[in-house]
């Protein structure tokens, strides 16, 4: 109809105008959801809710349990147990023994050491309740259109699936990362290709056959699955341009090339310690002698203290190396924008995905220590020409080109295609 807004042609109930991110408090997982929301054009129309599990004290050792079971067990162990002659078991290190992680006005140093109810109050983030979310989606469907739900992280799987079960006609539910359950419980699952490594001959040699069904997908990807090369992330071009302006005075005048060194942390699939830190220090000193320029080093939350200490002790007085100490604004996005090249420890899928999205040279250290899915991810990036092994005699002025990863935009395009099959679209 000429001269009439297009919402009247298809009906307002077919337009997705808002998104809900369900997170687990982990920055890496929530950044994946945020990156997709922005790529879909809903960066100014989303809310964040979280699944919180108990984290204090002995709860650390229960973090692999399903979140509902973990909460129930924690509640039981904190309850009055008169039939055992016990009253309130001191289940956390901060209770009973008077030992905490530090103190401030709350008696703790950081919100993560608070019980979940207090932590939510401190952070101002609502606890994700699938019944409430589903009821609100159904109530608002005619007036506000479908609700786009995007969840990422193991603890969010059950909640996202329950929302879909309760409100299938009023929601479109996307689970980021393979949920290790039937993907048909969601409208869409977005996951890296290496999460399907179990279907390759290499995986059958690396993992005992009886463990495959527990650790990896048991069925090939179908129409419910979108595969990406790397992880989704929030470091899109708009964000990086903004970060470049924000960090201009810090990095624009530094000697070139500027090398951004990002150190992650060991995992079961990529184990290392201070030995890798020793290699990195020696090779970085050597490459700066060859290349000139300077380097900035940052650590992740997962970096072991022994790795941090070795790097700091050896490089703190180097005139062309700066080490971010974790104080003040995080320069990560600024360094992604201003760095000429990257050196990244092999364990970090997120950091490699972000760096390889810039199209700049990426060197990897520790790749020979990785196995299984992570090794497959490295092979994919190598074939693409995105990464090379860091050996220490590189001239960082020598650049190379490759097609940058564009997972956010490609995943968003697939989401829009699948929405169109339902007669829905993003506003």
Mean per-residue pLDDT over the chain, rounded: 82
Task: Using alpha carbons, select from 257, 256, 237 the residue that is nearest to residue 354.
Answer: 237
Distance CA 319, CA 361 (A): 24
pLDDT score recorded for residue 200: 60
DSSP 193: G
* Residue 152 and residue 188 in contact, taking contact as beta carbons nearer than 8 Å: no
Q: Distance between CA atoms of 365 and 282, rounded to whole angstroms?
A: 12
What pLDDT digit, counting tens, does each position of 91-134 carry? 333 333 332 333 232 222 333 333 333 334 335 788 899 999 99
Q: Please, which pLDDT band fits residue 61 given cuts at 50, 70 and 90? A: low
Q: For residue 65, is pLDDT > 70? A: no
**Pair of tokens at residue 194:** 């290496």
Predicted pLDDT of residue 45: 94
- Higher per-residue confidence, 50 vs 9: 50
**Residue 27 or 331, more confident:** 331
Angle, CA 191 vertex, CA 375 and CA 259 arms, to 5°: 55
Task: List Cβ neighbours of 67 (8 Å cut-off, separation of 6 or more).
Answer: 51, 53, 155, 158
CATH of 7-51+128-229+410-426, one of 1.10.8, 3.40.50, 2.40.128, 1.10.3470: 3.40.50
Range scoring the smallest mean pLDDT among 81-90, 279-288, 404-413: 81-90
* pLDDT on residue 122: 37
DSSP three-state, residue 225: strand
Between residues 78 and 391, which one has the greater pLDDT? 391
Helices marked H in 199-348 — which ranges?
201-206, 209-215, 237-246, 248-251, 274-291, 305-315, 332-338
Residue 59: helix, strand or coil by DSSP? Answer: helix
Two tokens, residue 131: 């019944």
What residue segments make up the domains of the chain, in order of their start? Answer: 7-51+128-229+410-426, 57-112, 237-404
The percent helix, strand, coil of the chain (3-state, each to 5) is 45, 15, 40
7-51+128-229+410-426 and 237-404 share one fold: yes
**What average pLDDT score do residues 381-401 get?**
93
Residue with tokens 């290190």, as numbered in its chain: 93
- The residue that leads in pLDDT, 160 or 58, is 160
Topology (CATH level 3) of domain 237-404: Rossmann fold (3.40.50)
Residue 407 has pLDDT above 60, yes or no: yes
Pick from 4-8, 163-167, 185-189, 279-283: least confident: 4-8
Query: Percent of the chain beyond pLDDT 70?
Result: 75
Checking DSSP bridges between strand 15-16 and strand 425-426, what pairing results, if any? parallel
Cα(399)–Cα(378) distance, rounded to whole angstroms? Answer: 19
Residue-wise pLDDT for 262-314, tens only, equals 998 888 777 888 889 999 999 999 999 999 999 999 999 889 899 999 999 99
87 falls in which pLDDT band (50, 70, 90)? very low
Q: Closest Cα partner for 281 from 267, 295, 302?
A: 295
pLDDT, position 133? 97
Quick one: tokens of 195?
A: 């999460």
Residue in the block written with tokens 């959801």:
33
Give the H/E segment covering residue 264. none
Q: What CA–CA distance (Å, rounded) separates 276 from 388?
A: 17
pLDDT in tens, 191-247: 999 887 655 666 666 666 665 565 556 566 778 899 999 999 999 999 999 999 999
Go through the chain and tell me how many residues it has.
427
Confidence band for 340, pLDDT divided at 50, 70 and 90: very high
CB of 354 closer than 8 Å to CB of 336: yes
Integer angstrom CA distances of residue 299 from 262, 348, 390? 6, 11, 18
Which pLDDT value is given to residue 179?
Answer: 86
Residue 43 predicted with pLDDT over 50: yes
Arithmetic mean of pLDDT, 33-37:
97
**Given this model, what pLDDT does residue 169 score?**
95
Segment 140-181, tens digit of pLDDT? 999 999 999 999 988 899 999 999 999 999 999 999 998 888
Q: What pLDDT shows up at residue 52? A: 79
pLDDT given at position 372 = 79
């Amino acid at each position: 109809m000429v001269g009439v807004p297009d919402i009247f042609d298809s009906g307002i109930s077919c337009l997705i105008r808002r998104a809900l991110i369900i997170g687990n408090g982990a920055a890496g997982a929530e950044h994946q959801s945020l990156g997709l929301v922005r790529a879909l054009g809903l960066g100014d129309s989303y809310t964040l809710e979280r699944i919180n599990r108990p984290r204090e004290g002995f709860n650390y050792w229960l973090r692999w349990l399903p979140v509902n079971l973990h909460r129930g067990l924690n509640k039981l162990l904190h309850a009055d147990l008169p039939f055992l002659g016990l009253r309130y078991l001191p289940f956390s290190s901060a209770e009973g023994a008077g030992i905490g992680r530090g103190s401030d006005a709350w008696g703790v140093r950081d919100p993560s050491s608070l019980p979940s109810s207090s932590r939510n109050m401190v952070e101002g983030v609502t606890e994700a309740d699938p019944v409430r979310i589903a009821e609100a989606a159904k109530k608002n469907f005619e007036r506000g259109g479908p609700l786009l739900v995007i969840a990422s992280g193991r603890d969010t799987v059950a909640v996202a699936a329950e929302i879909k079960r309760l409100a299938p006609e009023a929601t479109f539910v996307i689970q980021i990362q393979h949920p290790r359950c039937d993907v048909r419980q969601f409208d869409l699952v977005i996951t890296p290709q290496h999460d399907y490594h179990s279907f390759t001959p290499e995986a059958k040699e690396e993992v005992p056959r009886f463990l495959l069904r527990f650790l990896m997908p048991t069925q090939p990807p179908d129409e419910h699955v979108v595969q990406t090369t790397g992880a989704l992330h929030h470091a899109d071009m708009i964000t990086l341009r903004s970060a470049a302006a924000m960090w201009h005075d810090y990095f624009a005048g530094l000697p070139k090339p500027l090398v951004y060194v990002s150190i992650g942390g060991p995992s079961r699939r990529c184990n290392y310690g201070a030995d890798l830190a020793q290699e990195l220090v020696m090779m970085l000193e050597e490459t700066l002698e060859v290349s000139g320029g300077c380097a900035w080093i940052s650590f992740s939350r997962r970096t072991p203290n022994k790795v941090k200490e070795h790097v700091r002790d050896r490089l703190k007085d180097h005139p062309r190396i700066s080490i971010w100490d974790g104080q003040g604004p995080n320069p990560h996005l600024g360094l992604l924008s201003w760095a000429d090249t990257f050196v990244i420890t092999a364990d970090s899928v997120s950091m490699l995905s972000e760096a390889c999205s810039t199209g700049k040279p990426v060197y990897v250290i520790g790749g020979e220590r990785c196995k299984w899915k992570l090794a497959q991810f490295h092979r994919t990036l190598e074939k693409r020409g995105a990464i090379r092994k860091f050996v220490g005699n590189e001239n960082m002025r020598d650049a190379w080109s490759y097609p940058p990863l564009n997972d956010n935009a490609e995943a968003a395009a697939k989401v829009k295609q699948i929405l169109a099959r339902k007669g829905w679209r993003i506003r």
